[in-house]
Amino acid sequence: MQEKVNPILSLPFPSSPELGAAIQVAEGVYWCRLPIPFELDHINVWLLDDGDGFTLVDTGINAGKTRGAWEALFSDIVKDLGINRVIVTHFHPDHFGLTKWLCDRTGASYHASVETQERTSFLLDSGHTDNIDIRMRFYQDHGVEDVEFFENFLKGTLYSEIVSGNHKVDGLLAESDTIEIGANTWRVIMCYGHAPGHINLYCERLGLLISGDQILPTITSNVSVLPDQPEANPLQEYLQSFAKFAQLPDETMVLPSHGKVFCGIHLRIDEVLKHHDEMLERVTSHCEQAHSAKDLVPKLFRRKLEGINSILAFGETMANLNYLCEEGKLQRRLQSGHYIYQQ
């Protein structure tokens, strides 16, 4: 996948590290890039010098190429120092996927938010592994009827197949907690919407923000209603979370999970807010006439969607609909066995 560049942002490092390699972006902070088997084909993870080892932020997905990239990092960067601690920003498999594998291999402790702990346990518990019935009921409630469409949504890889297993949490992180890593103090900024309990880490001394998926340089993070939480309003949570970055300096260097390291945090947040305003206006306009969520998806996402992209587009459509219903701009009603939405 060719990486896009946002012309309004400053790129301190125009080139990204090769897959399985690293670039030092600040004193004791290494930007590592790992391959993942999706259209968005990489994830950035961060090794922070902890004096006698490293703290790692995020892990990559449980896949052969990703583990192979880790072998190169162990050989070239980690070496004999080892990894003391793993911090996972949120539960999505490209962030959490190799946590158990890495902790078992290195003896590192594992740290995450309580919401990440709860979500990974729910998804990996033997009684909830596939959630097929929950997912089918969710899509049926919102207009999905034909078998082919169901298969498009439900044939995706199970969460348990792309993570290396669950791991006992050694430390729970919450809003405004501080973490001493080497000579630096990192403050936890907790966000919601893209994922519950999404950890961001800010170091004032270095002027760095590890932003996870909350702030990305060229794409907007997916904000989805989950099938087991059909009444949630994640878009409201996501938009409100941006207020937590209001006091960060303009020159803050943002270390995102996808794309290039950049400066221009407030310009980028303004772009993301504008995008969501425009999307909400489009949804409202289409709902002058009654639509199901299924009928709205191709109107909002006009390129061909398959597999995981279909799931993400459906979830994001639902996030817009739930937001507008709570704002009183749309009404929801049952018709012919599924929900429709209209002004």
Arithmetic mean of pLDDT over the chain = 93
Question: Is 192 domain-assigned?
Answer: no
Distance of alpha carbon 124 from alpha carbon 248, whole angstroms: 37
Distance of alpha carbon 103 from alpha carbon 95, whole angstroms: 14
CATH number at 271 reads 3.60.15
Q: Over the stretch 264-290, which tens digit does the pLDDT of each residue have?
A: 999 999 999 999 999 999 999 999 999
Question: Is 206 domain-assigned?
Answer: no
Q: How confident is the model at residue 28 (pLDDT cuts 50, 70, 90)?
A: very high
Average pLDDT over residues 56-78: 97
Structure tokens at 267: 């310009």
Q: Which domain holds residue 139?
A: 22-173+265-342
Beta-bridge partner residues of 200: 189
Beta-bridge partner residues of 282: none
Q: How confident is the model at residue 161 (pLDDT cuts 50, 70, 90)?
A: confident
Q: Over the stretch 172-218, which tens digit does the pLDDT of each residue have?
A: 999 999 999 999 999 999 999 999 999 999 999 999 999 999 999 99
Question: Is 239 domain-assigned?
Answer: no
Q: Number of structural domains, the chain?
A: 1
Three-state secondary structure readout of the chain: CCCCCCCCCECCCCCCCCECCEEEEECCEEEEEEECCCCCCEEEEEEEECCCCEEEECCCCCCHHHHHHHHHHHHHHHCCCCEEEEECCCCCHHHHCCHHHHHHHHCCEEEECHHHHHHHHHHHCHHHCCCHHHHHHHHHHCCCCCHHHHHHHHCCCCHHHCCCCCCCCCEECCCCCEEEECCEEEEEEEECCCCCCEEEEEECCCCEEEEECCCCCCCCCCCCCCCCCCCCCHHHHHHHHHHHHCCCCCCCEEEECCCCCEECHHHHHHHHHHHHHHHHHHHHHHCCCCECHHHHHHHHCCCCCCCHHHHHHHHHHHHHHHHHHHCCCCEEEEECCEEEEEC
Question: Is 162 domain-assigned?
Answer: yes
* Predicted pLDDT at 179: 98
Which of 65, 109, 60, 107 lies closest to 87, judged by CA?
109
Phi-psi region of 314 (alpha: psi -120 to 50; beta: other; left: phi over 0): alpha
How big is the CA angle at 79 (ends 75 and 84), to the nearest 5 degrees? 125
Question: Is 87 domain-assigned?
Answer: yes
Question: Is 121 domain-assigned?
Answer: yes
Structure tokens at 67: 């583990």
Q: How confident is the model at residue 303 (pLDDT cuts 50, 70, 90)?
A: confident
Structure tokens at 27: 């004193």
Question: Is 1 domain-assigned?
Answer: no
Question: Comparing 48-57, 189-198, 249-258, 305-314, which segment has the lowest mean pLDDT?
Answer: 305-314
Distance of alpha carbon 50 from alpha carbon 186, whole angstroms: 12
* Predicted pLDDT at 122: 87
Q: Name which residue leads in pLDDT, 227 or 187.
A: 187
Q: Over the stretch 163-185, which tens digit does the pLDDT of each residue have?
A: 999 999 999 999 999 999 999 99
Question: Comparing 140-149, 242-251, 331-340, which segment has the lowest mean pLDDT?
Answer: 140-149
Question: Is 296 domain-assigned?
Answer: yes
The predicted model scores a pTM of: 0.95
| Whether residue 291 has pLDDT greater than 70 | yes
